[in-house]
Amino acid sequence: MWNKAIELSTKTHPGPVVHLSDSPRDEGKLLIGYENGTVVFWDLRSKRADLRAYYDEAIHSVAWHHEGKQFMCSHSDGSLTLWNLKSPNRPFQTTIPHGKIQRDGKKPESCKPILKVEYKTCKNSEPFVIFSGGLSYDKACRRPSLTIMHGKAITVLEMDHPIVDFLTLCETPYPNEFQEPYAVVVLLEKDLIVVDLTQSNFPIFENPYPIDIHESPVTCTEYFADCPPDLIPVLYSVGAKHKKQGYSNKEWPISGGAWNLGAQTYPEIIITGHADGSVKFWDASAITLQMLYKLKTSKVFEKQKVGEGKATAEIVEEDPFAVQMIYWCPESRIFCVAGVSAYVVVYRFSKHEVNTEIASLEVRLQYEVEDIITPEPEIIPPFPDASSQLPSLKSLSGSTNTVACEGTMKDSIPCLSVKTRPLRMPPGYQADLVIQLVWVDGEPPQQITSLAVNSAYGLVAFGNCNGLAVVDFMQKTVLLSMGTLDLYGSSDPYQRQPRSPRKSKQFAAGLTELSDSPVSLELERCKSPTSVKGSRKLSLPTDLKTDLDHVNGHCTSPTSQSCSSGKRLSSADVSKANRRGPGRPPFRKAQSAACMEISLPVTTEENRENSFSRSRSSSVSSIDRDSKEAITALYFMESFARKNDSAVSPCLWVGTGLGMVLILSLNLPASDDLRQSEPVMVSPSGTVLTLKGAVLTFACLDCMGTLTHPPYEVWRDPHSADDGEKTRKRKLVMHSPSSSQDMGDHQFAVICSEKQAKVFSLPSQTCLYVHNITETSFLLRADVVTLCNSVCLACFCANGHIMTLSLPSLRPLLDINYLPVTDMRIARTFCFTNEGQALYLSSPTEIQRLTYSQEMCDNLQDMLGDLFTPVETPEAQNRGFLKGLFGGSGQAFDREELFGEATAGKASRSLAQHIPGSGGIEGVRGAAGGVIGDLTRARIALDERGQKLGELDERTASMMASAEAFSKHAHEVMLKYKDKKWYQF
């Protein structure tokens, strides 16, 4: 009926309908706006147009005045037109809010289209005109904007993302009253904001919902379920003090809906690390997600000034403060962050603000084998103090135990500069120590691949593809800085014989030489046992190549100087190789999760035969080709370091990319009073265990199969004003194995690699159970979690399978093909937690939680909230007599009368309608049956109508008799008093 709406004589189509609304004054009148500039005011009762208006610019939106006598249109040239229903020939007001006024009096120049406009009136002030778009064309770089016109004041609010839609919140739901707007809800492509209209500077409301989780790209995640209940209130209290200024002082105006906590509620916290160096703590209890606290790790470093170049020898040009790994102890509140620029920051939690300097250490980790045959050295205990390490202790790998100090070698510089001036640290997490790896002989520090902290021991350990470092963050000293090869000592089952480099050779998988020098061929980096000669890379979209550099927190981007500096060179060739300089990136090779690029093996007979036969890796033909061994897993625990140990002692379990497990003994002071002064000794125990594939995780069970947690220190405020608390001794919580059994082993060690899981009995070091998890793929994540008062091993495989194994028996409990890894974001952010839950980033802006617990699934419906909550509709304003007489307020219109079932389907009298009939005997019978039914119903209706008419006749006769009796009595009264005077009554 478009031709009826715009006139029957019009031959061209008016274009799509861009606006449709009823009049605030009369619900029976409809305002139709067409894209070509035509506006029609249609009467639904009479089915005809009351008026038509035409404009030469395209219309994008229309808004009513609350009285229903005027309306405003927004157009494609950035103009606003105001129309009156009494004079529809032309608009009585035309404005271009952002158009430049011409000097010669001509029409202002056109602007960008105004996509939407809202016209809201106020009782005691000028009306609000709010619209999106309409900016001038001369500023092409202007961001999406929302303009608020209030009287003569025009305010432009620039947005970070394109505007999808906006809606004005008003005090009344009735369109025919003064609207009294108080807020504007703006939906952006990646955010939702609410603007406060009651204040002159139009501040935004603080959003209580986490719509900006992607404010900076998420680089890593950790998930903690059933954590201490006091953590969420504490983090919220310190996070509330860090809130930005400039927000509206009013509460969030959107209050619909309600949360249901469900039957099972326990504290859950999600931690996200971001590319800008920030770390966010989220409350994930039940199904809610609210940000508790934000920590900016980049504040401890000096910012690189523009034009300064590579003065600090950065290895990452973009996002040098990106968070790569996170380690958090909820009980002791120790928090540790490893950054992409090869640094580790240790944080302590305090409720008090302090001004202090940040302690920093620099560590050298180098892996280089020279062609000088030296006898196997004895294990030399490292010195506890940095000052005592000044004598250079050269080892087979060429790494040194010296800590780089100021004024040392030209290349012994860190990637970033730590601030040396005292810093004001607000309540919350405060930096206690910064540890940085430094350049060594022109080679950049390799990125950190594993991280572990223990508050009871006061130690932090981290490793990369060069070696392992252990730091005492209580005494601020480096305890161990050793190449991976040195950790074996005489226990290395495969003695690596130093040799001269062979000639340049083209390896499989398309390796290329990056230098024309014959000695510049770099050997392969540490590889997964799953990577074979005929390996094929996981097929991924090309736009995900940047994500390929990050799996399990490792990076192989060219700007990060890949871990490929390990060489077997003669002493004469060492100087030649060092001339290569840091500017030329070492060559890269596709590897698996242990070295951060995914490759899936091709099943061959050779692979089956040589899978793991007294060999560290099935992917290499000799140890020579795999000279570098990354540290992939670290774990502090009270355990048995050697076979003949009779009692547990502090240990550090080390897992490598070649499936080797080493145990380091920690010799701590006997009493807590000597902890700050006596040195801590770290030494290899000689114990070596083997698995197939890169080691991913460790855990410890007691003799009863109960999970044994590592010891921790009970949190106390390091900056408390209470002197008594300062001098109080540290309170340690130790989880020693059960001593109920005097004979036999007392502990189970659970070790999981990317290919298999093993359970060892300690101290005998007997392998009790072994389970080959996958043969054709590899694990991306494995965690030992508690579920239903028991313990299990949860695994996520690169082929998308989620598997759980019982502990300690390693029996398969679950194997579900859940999510094939088509995006490296999933592999980088997937993590398990207790109570059968896990999460990952399904997109850059969304966190996907999942559960593999039946109990959680049963209670999921109880946890879902209500989207809408019923509220009482406010009463409309009283309709005065004059307003009702002159039509000043809205008139109700029964839409059922027009659109209801009574008239539904009725054809217009002016149009012919074809009614198709059903052919055949069955159709005739059905039609006949339908007619008989209609006749029967009609007869019954006629009988009822006759009965009602009879009753009506009786009532009419009775009324007539009553009227005659009343007339008779009135006549008699008149005759009685006819001749009497007034004084005779």
User: Of how many residues is the chain composed?
Assistant: 985
**pLDDT confidence band for 541 (50 / 70 / 90):** very low
pLDDT category, 287, cuts 50, 70, 90?
A: confident
- In whole angstroms, what is the distance from residue 656 CA to residue 465 CA? 9
Structure tokens at 972: 């008699």
The lowest-confidence range among 95-99, 163-167, 263-267, 499-503 is: 499-503
Q: What confidence score (pLDDT) does residue 8 get?
A: 60
Tokens of 424: 């004001």
When pLDDT is averaged across residues 135-157 and rounded to a whole number, the result is: 85
Residue 412 predicted with pLDDT over 70: yes
The H or E element containing residue 488 is helix 484-488
Tell me if 808 sits within 8 A of 705, measured CB to CB: yes
- Amino acid in the structure at residue 881: F
Alpha-carbon distance of 67 to 175, in angstroms, equals: 8
922 pLDDT higher than 60: no
pLDDT value of position 891: 60
When the pLDDT of each residue in the chain is averaged and rounded to a whole number, the result is: 75
Cα–Cα nearest to 183, from 253, 247, 242: 253
Hey, what are 362's tokens? Answer: 């620099």
Q: What is the mean pLDDT of residues 275-284?
A: 92
The answer to whether 63 touches 119, Cβ cutoff 8 Å, is: yes
The pLDDT of 289-313, averaged and rounded, is: 75
Contacts of 662 (CB under 8 A, 6+ apart): 487, 488, 653, 654, 656, 684, 685, 687, 688
Residue with more model confidence, 254 or 636: 636
Burial of 630 (0-12, 13-18, 19+ CB in 10 A): buried
Give the tens place of pLDDT for each residue, 731-743: 888 765 544 444 4
Do 427 and 241 meet the contact criterion of CB atoms below 8 Å apart? yes
Alpha-carbon span 482 to 815, nearest angstrom: 40
Rounded average pLDDT over 804-826: 90
Mean pLDDT lowest among 86-90, 207-211, 571-575, 687-691: 571-575
Residues with Cβ within 8 Å of 219's Cβ and at least 6 positions away in sequence, in order, are: 273, 274, 275, 322, 323, 324, 340, 550, 828
3-state helix, strand, coil in the chain (%, to 5): 15, 35, 50
d(CA 33, CA 389): 82
Q: Tokens 């620029």 identify what position?
A: 341
Tokens of 603: 């099943």
Q: In this predicted model, what pLDDT tens digit does every residue of 184-206 receive, in sequence order? A: 999 998 888 999 999 888 999 88
Cis peptide before 763 (omega within 30 of 0): yes
Model confidence band, residue 816 (pLDDT cutoffs 50, 70, 90): very high
Tokens of 677: 């002064």
Q: Which residues pair with 39 in a beta bridge?
A: 33, 53
Please, where are the H alpha helices in 859-894? Answer: 860-863, 881-886
User: Distance between CA atoms of 768 and 744, rounded to whole angstroms?
Assistant: 13
CA neighbor of 689 nearest in space, from 648, 646, 651, 658? 658
Helix intervals (H) in 676-779 = 723-727
Residue 142 has pLDDT above 90, yes or no: no
CB atoms within 10 A of CB 275: 16
Strand ranges for 788-820 from DSSP E: 790-797, 801-806, 812-817
Model pLDDT, residue 462:
96
Q: In a 3-state reduction of DSSP, which class is residue 517?
A: coil
Q: Could you tell me the pLDDT band of residue 548, with boundaries at 50, 70 and 90?
A: very low
pLDDT tens-digit series, residues 828-876: 899 999 989 999 998 888 889 999 888 888 877 777 777 788 888 777 7
Residue 828 to residue 835: CA distance in whole angstroms: 22
pLDDT at 258: 78
pLDDT band of residue 573 (cuts 50, 70, 90) is very low
How many CB atoms lie under 10 A from the CB of residue 944? Answer: 10
- CB-based contacts of 982, cutoff 8 Å, min separation 6: none
Q: Where are the alpha helices (DSSP H) in 135-287?
A: 231-240
Residue bearing the bigger pLDDT, 804 or 212: 804
